[in-house]
Amino acid sequence: MFRRVITVVAGLASAAAVAVVPAGGLTADAATLKYVAMGDSYSAASGVLPLDLTAPPECLRSTRNYGHVIAAAKGYAYKDVTCGAAQTKDFAGAQYGGVAPQLDAIDGTTNLVTMTIGGNDSGVFINTILKCGQAGLSTLGQGHPCQTKYGSSFTDTIKNVTYPSLVATLEAVHAKAPAARVAIVGYPWITPATGGCFLKMPIASGDVPYVHNIQWTLNDAVRRAAAATGSTYVDMNAVSTGHDACKASGVRWIEPVLTGTNPVIVHPNALGESKMAAQTLAVLGLS
């Protein structure tokens, strides 16, 4: 699937964080504190250079992803298993040949886990952008052809399929790393709430609120899964408002389909990853 993401468009949060602090906290003995970064291409910063040459090439992991930024800022002992196109199923199973299940990276000595995950499950992000982009092109950016054609199908999938998968995944992480603080980071806004930018993001103007709501539903599923499992939710909704893919370079945190600067489109740029790191540190009380 990630090959489709690279060549076509790439895979694609509204409540307070729930903080759970393990025994001993996260501030003492930073150099020996064991931190593991997990998750999908938003965690891996796929498309942001330079690449992490120690990672499997299929994962397109960057040395500037938010896990690297956090580890460098705090001096933590760091292990990164983030991988582009990862789904929740890839925590317990191998994503690619030679790429171990992400759960293999954690154990009872792990102190901190971060992740962004869920957007690739059932193809929600890629199908939203592809299908709504195709629909928008068919009407030259007018009306709401994607909402008319697909209705609640995307949000229904998130609520009925993605959400329980997120809960099961977070429960599995806690079971393997019972002493760890587990933080799941929401997805920064891809589109504005209204208006849009048809030349950069080929979504019809009337479908921009529809796509925005699909992402809100996903981030809300992440929030609810965190609350249900005693995990920390890192809410990106408020802080990423005004930094969507329609904004100018240097302001946007997400690259658009057209006229962007990253080869992997509709993904965070280096600025976005640094802001995801900053928000995570703030929510964890470590900034």
Strands of 34-39's sheet in order across: 77-80, 34-39, 112-116, 181-185, 232-234
Task: Tally the residues of the chain.
Answer: 287
What span, in angstroms and rounded, lies between the C-alpha atoms of 12 and 54?
A: 25
Of 140, 146, 167, nearest to 225 (Cα)? Answer: 167
Q: Which residues are catalytic?
A: 41, 267
Question: Identity (one letter) of the amino acid at 135?
Answer: A
- The position carrying tokens 């789904």 is 87
Q: Return the bridge partners of 114, or none.
A: 37, 183
Q: Return the bridge partners of 42, or none.
A: none
The phi-psi region of residue 141 (left if phi > 0; otherwise alpha if psi is between -120 and 50; otherwise beta) is left
What span, in angstroms and rounded, lies between the C-alpha atoms of 43 and 65?
A: 6
List Cα–Cα distances, 135 to 4, 129, 144, 259, in angstroms.
18, 10, 8, 20
Please list, in sequence order, all residues whose beta carbon lies within 8 angstroms of the beta carbon of residue 151, skipping any fewer than 6 positions away.
Answer: none
At residue 139's C-alpha, the angle toward residues 145 and 200, to 5°, is 95
Contact criterion met (CB below 8 Å) for 107 and 30: no
